[in-house]
Structure 1
Amino acid sequence: MNTAKKVRLGKILGASSQRAVIVPIDHGLTVGPLTGIESTARIARWIGHPGVDAVVAHKGILSRLADQGALDRKGVILHLNGMSSLSDSVDDKEWLTSIETALLLGADAVSLQVNFNGRNDRANWKMLGQVVDGAARYGLPVLTMIYDKVGEEPQRLHRIKQLMRTAVELGTDALKIGMSERPELLREALEDVQGDALVFVAGGELTGDEPLLEHVSNALRAGARGVCIGRNIFVKKSPALLLERLSKLVHGEPARGEREVALASIRR
């Protein structure tokens, strides 16, 4: 990994844990204004929490949040592709934003989502290969979000292992995958790939805080380098409480900035 990538990843990963709590808020392009991300003003109410290490968003939301100072001291990951759920082919994500735009916006990394439905493999891999080539020219890390919609376990385990390996072969630096409710399957899925790419787990279907935290704990023990969770955070009435617990679980210490605040209060 070159120096530029190391520097940029250092803005996303915790210095001591080398893990991260990444919060994607790119859902608006796909499904519209969900609760918690109805507007940049609403996002700004909670996104500044020190438990958020990095944010994934499309260019329009990133620029507006940056204008409000809501992304200060956050890692910034620009999402490059997408497709509205109003389309009859929502799984066929189109490349919508250039690598150069990521640089102009000061992004620390770029991301793309590839949904595999058995008919779009060729387009997905071509897009990922081109994104990696373009990002490599500027030392930008690439996060690839893989969602496989074909088959059931154990076939899906074999497929996700092959899909992750293909993404690594094409040069991705990090992966986001779904979180299996069976810890042993997640351990097997990550066994071979965790040494070649940073792996973050998604939040999955909406659930309560306790089941979510248990799944995250299992994922960390399996070798995941953190989480990339959106809806299970921002739809909550109090995202701050969950973010605080997630950050402590992922990093094994208070969220960034909380320790300094605590020390300052002791000195007073």
Structure 2
Amino acid sequence: MNDRGRAGSRESSSFGGLEIRLRRLFSPDTGRSLIIPLDHAITMGPSGGLERPRSIIEAAVLGNADAVMLRPGMVGCLSGVGAEKLGVILALTGRLATGVDHVLLNSVEYAASQAADAVCGEFKFGSSGDLENARIIAQLAERAHMMGIPVLVTVYSRPEALDRLGSDAYAHACRIAEEIGADVIKTSLPDDPAVIAQCVESTSVPIVVAGGPPDTSTDLEEFLRRAVNQGIGGAAIGRRAWAASKPVETIRGLAAAVHGEHAHV
């Protein structure tokens, strides 16, 4: 696979610290990652499986995921379920049940005190607050990189951006994320080889697809196989993993799709 699909492609004055922590998030065999996010409850409420965060983390371990994403206050749920095998990404921006734009909720310093392997901030390209959110994430990235902590930027292309730019909005959003400091980009992409190729070619850091294609009738595992063959660096699958009837089996299948013959058994 090409270098864009591998962890640690960003050059940095704190490259040693970034590299060490990124290795906790990506498989050394494939350079790809399956991340299980469970940071949704402050927006969705504790339902649909989120009532039991420790069970989600245990399913991630048993299903051979590479990392989990959660909020700093939930770090205690990592205890006693074998989570030392997982990379830990702490989401520092968020919103409640209204609006779309995020604010900074927790500091990089606090995330470091909780042994974060990476921190995450989110913005929506095309929203009314996208510039302010980009500023928040850029400053978060500056602080994190000075401490040798990698930054995962979650970015989604809003209908406003898609109406204005068409499918070019996806690559534009990814490039914004990289330019404000992303070491890893998490984004939702359609099941369109041309769009995926454009995003991969427009960036030099790994892209992980969020949730799979918007059309939930698409076979998610097959979509991921095609995406990683095009240079995508993995996936971040939340609800379609931990809300499944058999979360461990579902996560194991997703890990096999991401890592192919190098997946754990």
Q: Would you call these one fold, judging by a TM-score over 0.5?
A: yes
In structure 1, C-alpha distance between the alignment counterparts of 2:207 and 2:119, rounded to whole Å: 15
Match of 1:109 among 101, 107, 118: 118
Question: What CA distance in whole angstroms lies between the structure 2 residues aligned with 1:104 and 1:96?
Answer: 15
Q: What is the rounded CA distance, in whole Å, between the counterparts of 1:56 and 1:17 in structure 2?
A: 20
- 1:54 deviation in Å? 0.1
Give the deviation of 1:70 after TM superposition. 4.7
The amino acid across from 1:220 in the alignment is V
User: Which whole-Å CA distance do the structure 1 matches of 2:165 and 2:24 have between them?
Assistant: 37
Taking the aligned partners of 1:37 and 1:112, their CA distance within structure 2 comes to 20
Report the equivalent of 2:19.
Answer: 6
Give 1:75's match in structure 2, choosing from 68, 87, 100: 87
Say if 2:54 and 2:78, in contact at 8 Å, map to a contact too. Answer: no
Match of 1:92 among 101, 122, 137: 101
1:35-64 CA distances to partner (integer Å, 9 max, x unpaired)? 222133443452322421100000122x22
1:43 aligned partner: 56
Q: How do 1:119-268 residues align onto structure 2 when only pairs under 5 Å count?
A: 119-149=128-158, 150-152=160-162, 155-193=165-203, 196-204=204-212, 205=214, 207=216, 211-253=219-261, 255-256=263-264, 258=265
State the shift of 1:15 in Å: 0.8
Aligned-pair identity in percent equals 28
Tell me the equivalent position of 1:265: none
What SS does the aligned partner of 1:253 have? helix
Whole-angstrom CA distance in 1 between matches of 2:261 and 2:81: 26
TM (normalized to structure 1)? 0.86
Which of structures 1 and 2 has the bigger CA Rg?
Answer: 1
The structure whose RCO (Cα within 8 Å, separation 6+) is larger is 2
User: How many Å apart are 1:21 and its aligned residue?
Assistant: 0.4
Count of paired positions: 250
2:31 paired residue number: 18
C-alpha distance in structure 2 between counterparts of 1:68 and 1:250, whole Å: 27
Q: Residues 153, 117 of structure 1: CA spacing in aligned structure 2 closer, same or farther, 3 A cutoff?
A: closer
- In structure 2, distance between residues paired with 1:110 and 1:44: 18
8 Å contact kept, 1:135–1:141: yes
- On the 8 A contact 1:25/1:55 being kept in 2, the answer is yes
Q: Quote the offset at 1:103 in angstroms.
A: 0.9
Moved more, 215-224 or 153-162: 153-162
Moved more, 168-177 or 75-84: 168-177
Alpha carbons 2:33, 2:234 under 8 Å: kept: yes
Contact 1:206 1:231 in 2 (8 A): no
Distance (whole Å) between structure 1 residues aligned to residue 55 and residue 258 of structure 2: 25
CA distance in 1, matches of 2:202, 2:196: 11
Distance in 2, Cα, partners of 1:13 & 1:151? 31
Contact 1:50/1:255 (CA < 8 Å) preserved in 2?
A: no
Distance 1:41 1:74 in 2: 13
Moved over 6 A (4+): none
User: For the structure 1 residues 134 and 74, does the alpha-carbon distance in structure 2 shift closer, same or farther, using more than 3 Å as the test?
Assistant: same
Instruction: Give the counterpart letter for 1:9 in structure 2.
Output: L
Whether the aligned pair in 2 keeps the contact of 1:207 and 1:232 (CA below 8 Å) is no
Tell me the alpha carbon deviations over residues 235-261 of structure 1, each in whole angstroms, 9 at most, x when there is no partner. Answer: 1011111222221221123644x3xxx
